[in-house]
Amino acid sequence: MKRSIVAFLAVSCLLGAVAPLLAHHSFAAEFDRDKPITLRGYVTKVEWTNPHVWFYINVKDEKTGRTTNWGFEMGPPHGLQGGGWTRETMQLGDEVIVTGTLAKNGSNRANARNVTLAKTGKKMGAASSEGQADQQ
């Protein structure tokens, strides 16, 4: 009886760990590595969730004066924490400079590679999936 319970728990844990990976998209499925982008703007929202942290910034076009909201995908929370991020690193209203890769569908979305915090000048990696061997 104990053996079957242990086996059941082991299989359950394995399935629980694998399920999120099956639902995860590859970098190349959503983003175009041949379309780099750098934008400067002010943070309007931060979603610190799995499987990716997303943040949004308002970017003002210098020519037209029009403001557009952009969404940036970063890596998973644990990947960001390993790079020195905390939930308090980027706050609403902070000015940031983001380098990354545009979405293939032409929307105002991108995969962030690096984020520079304008108030401190600190450049931080965004735990991007770009360049990982399995993401080609």
The residue with greater pLDDT, 52 or 9, is: 52
Looking at residue 1, what is its pLDDT? Answer: 60
Cα 76 to Cα 39: distance, rounded to the nearest angstrom: 22
Looking at residue 25, what is its pLDDT? Answer: 55
pLDDT of residue 72 exceeding 50, the answer is yes
Helix/strand/coil for 28: helix
Looking at residue 30, what is its pLDDT? Answer: 83
Lowest mean pLDDT among 1-5, 31-35, 74-78: 1-5
Can you read off the two tokens belonging to residue 61?
């076009």
- Binned at pLDDT 50, 70 and 90, residue 12 comes out as low
In this predicted model, what pLDDT tens digit does every residue of 79-116 receive, in sequence order? 999 999 999 999 999 999 999 999 999 999 999 999 99
Q: Are the C-beta atoms of residues 31 and 102 closer than 8 Å to each other?
A: yes
Domain extent listing, the chain: 27-129
Q: What percent of the chain has pLDDT over 70?
A: 76
pLDDT of residue 118 exceeding 90, the answer is yes
Write down how long the chain is.
Answer: 136
27-129, which class in CATH? mainly beta
pLDDT of residue 16 exceeding 80, the answer is no
Cα 118 to Cα 41: distance, rounded to the nearest angstrom: 10
